[in-house]
């Protein structure tokens, strides 16, 4: 069983402190949801976990299976088993989905075995088609340029396909529901549900409860002021949907 542990994390960007003593521990097989209003540091958390160079960790640690990964670059963290599905995936004209994924697979495998010569095209194609069938995706999707001209739903499905191919130990979904209509949200959520299991931990970052109608969390956390201030089970998300965040703010003020 893999573990991801974030200890008393303080993070700044351009001199402004965003995360202020953030703590979280999750295990593979679990689904955690982090909710909170705009500006509370949710995306900062996602980028910091993956090692974005613009975010400066001033204190604290991130441990994967007991190993502090703070000195790892983003690609090293990916090869160690972390995956980030972006809120706004970028387009890469001229690079097909298939070529992009094959390059990623080779990079991961070569890191384990420097003598690795690369996955053959037939072997990769077989693996990719199996994953696409599992996610109920049209095979023609693989020949399109990555995210170029994709709808919001197609971009997010491409992210889930990457996750299916790379098989991370922990996947962070940074507001994957952003910009999706109901049908696209359902399709993307079905993809996540098809992949989650005992070997994968999922961290869902969202403003709203609606994605949690499809991806049921084991734990829900409310994030404010750069840290987790309230935790509970899936019922907490429903409570937030009905009552908003004011009661959490009032509780924080009363505790000061």
The CATH number assigned to the domain holding 93 equals: 3.40.50.300
Residue partners of 182: CB distance under 8 A and separation at least 6: none
Enclosing domain of residue 195: 3-255
Count of domains forming the chain = 1
Q: Where does residue 236 rank: exposed (0-12), middle (13-18), buried (19+ CB within 10 A)?
A: buried
> Residue range 186-204: average pLDDT?
89
214 and 185 Cβ atoms separated by less than 8 Å: yes
Work out the number of other CB atoms within 10 angstroms of the CB of residue 238.
15
> Residue range 37-64: average pLDDT?
94
Token pair, residue 103, equals: 């390059």
Residue partners of 255: CB distance under 8 A and separation at least 6: none
The confidence score (pLDDT) of residue 57 equals 96
User: 219-224 and 31-35: which strand pairing?
Assistant: parallel
CA distance 82 to 171: 6
- pLDDT, one tens digit per residue, over 85-94 is 988 899 999 9
The confidence score (pLDDT) of residue 185 equals 86
- pLDDT, one tens digit per residue, over 118-154 is 999 999 999 999 988 888 888 999 999 999 999 888 8
Check whether 36 has a pLDDT greater than 80. yes
Check whether 19 has a pLDDT greater than 90. yes
pTM score of the predicted model: 0.93
The confidence score (pLDDT) of residue 111 equals 86
Check whether 255 has a pLDDT greater than 90. no
The confidence score (pLDDT) of residue 43 equals 92
Q: How confident is the model at residue 197 (pLDDT cuts 50, 70, 90)?
A: confident
CA distance 90 to 191: 20
> Residue range 195-217: average pLDDT?
91
């Amino acid at each position: 069983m893999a573990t991801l542990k974030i200890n008393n994390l303080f993070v700044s960007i351009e001199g402004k402190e965003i995360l202020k003593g953030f703590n979280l521990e999750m295990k593979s097989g679990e689904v955690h949801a982090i909710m909170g209003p705009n500006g509370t540091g949710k995306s900062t958390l996602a980028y910091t976990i993956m090692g974005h160079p613009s975010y400066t960790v001033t204190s604290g640690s991130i441990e994967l299976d007991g190993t502090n990964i703070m000195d790892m670059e983003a690609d090293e963290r990916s090869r160690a088993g972390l995956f980030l599905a972006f809120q706004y995936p970028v387009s890469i004209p001229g690079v097909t989905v298939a070529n992009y994924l094959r390059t990623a697979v080779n990079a991961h495998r070569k890191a384990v075995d420097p003598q690795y010569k690369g996955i053959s095209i037939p072997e990769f194609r077989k693996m990719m088609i199996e994953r696409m069938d599992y996610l109920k995706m049209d095979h023609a999707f693989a020949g399109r340029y990555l995210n170029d001209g994709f709808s919001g739903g197609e971009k997010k499905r491409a992210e889930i396909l990457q996750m299916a191919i790379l098989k991370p130990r922990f996947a962070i979904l940074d507001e994957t529901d952003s910009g999706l209509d109901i049908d696209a949200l359902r399709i993307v959520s079905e993809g996540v549900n098809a992949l989650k299991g005992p070997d994968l931990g999922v961290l869902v970052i969202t403003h709203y409860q609606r994605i949690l109608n499809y991806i049921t969390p084991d734990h829900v956390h409310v994030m404010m002021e750069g840290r987790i201030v309230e935790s509970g089970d899936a019922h907490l998300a429903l409570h937030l949907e009905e009552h908003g965040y004011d009661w959490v703010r009032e509780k924080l003020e009363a505790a000061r």
